[in-house]
Amino acid sequence: MAHQARKRFGQNFLQDQNIINNIIGSAMIRSGENWVEIGAGQGALTQPLLQKVSHLDVVELDRDLVTLLQHKFVDYKNLTIHSSDALRFDFSSLAPNGEKLHVIGNLPYNISTPLMFHLLETTDCIADMLFMLQKEVVNRICAEPNGKSYGRLGVMMQYYCSTEWLFDVPPESFNPVPQVMSAIVRLVPHEKPPVEVDDVKMLARVVSEAFSQRRKTLRNSLGKSLTEAEILELEIDANLRAENISLAEFAKLANALSRKPVEID
Ligand code: SAH
pLDDT one-digit tens code per residue, 82-112? 999 999 999 999 998 889 999 999 999 889 9
Q: How many residues does the chain have?
A: 265
Whole-number Å distance, alpha carbon 213 to ligand 1 midpoint, is 34
8 Å CB contact between 122 and 92:
yes
Please provide the DSSP assignment of the chain as one string.
------GGGT--EE--HHHHHHHHHHT---TT-EEEEE--TTSTTHHHHHHH-SEEEEEE--HHHHHHHHHHTTT-TTEEEEES-TTT--GGGG-TTS--EEEEEE--GGGHHHHHHHHHTTGGGEEEEEEEEEHHHHHHHHPPTTSTT-SHHHHHHHHHEEEEEEEEE-GGGEESPPSS-EEEEEEEE-SS-SS--S-HHHHHHHHHHHHHTTTSBHHHHSTTTS-HHHHHHTT--TTSBGGG--HHHHHHHHHHHHHSPPP--
pLDDT in tens, 12-59: 999 999 999 999 999 999 999 999 999 999 999 999 999 999 999 999
- Give this prediction's pTM: 0.94
Atom from ligand 1 closest to the CA of residue 89: 23
| Contact 16 CB / ligand 1 (< 6 Å) | no
Ligand 1 atom nearest 59 alpha carbon: 24
Residues 132/184, Cβ–Cβ less than 8 Å: yes
Q: Please write the tens of the pLDDT for every residue from 140-152.
A: 999 999 999 999 9
Residues of 76-111 as b/e, b for ≥16 C-beta within 10 angstroms? eeebebbeeebeebebeebbeeeeebbbbbbbbbeb
| pLDDT tens-digit readout, 116-168 | 999 999 989 999 999 999 999 999 999 999 999 999 999 999 999 999 999 99
Q: Which CATH superfamily is domain 200-258 in?
A: rRNA adenine dimethylase, C-terminal domain (1.10.8.100)
Q: What are the residue ranges spanned by the domains of the chain?
A: 7-189, 200-258
pLDDT category of residue 262 using cuts at 50, 70 and 90: confident
260: confidence class by pLDDT, cuts 50, 70, 90: confident
Which protein residue's CA is at the shortest distance from atom 13 of ligand 1? 41
Fold of 7-189: Rossmann fold (3.40.50)
Question: What is the C-alpha to C-alpha distance for residues 11 and 148, in angstroms, rounded to an integer?
Answer: 29
Ligand 1 contact, 112 CB (< 6 A): no
Would you say the CATH fold of 200-258 matches that of 7-189? no
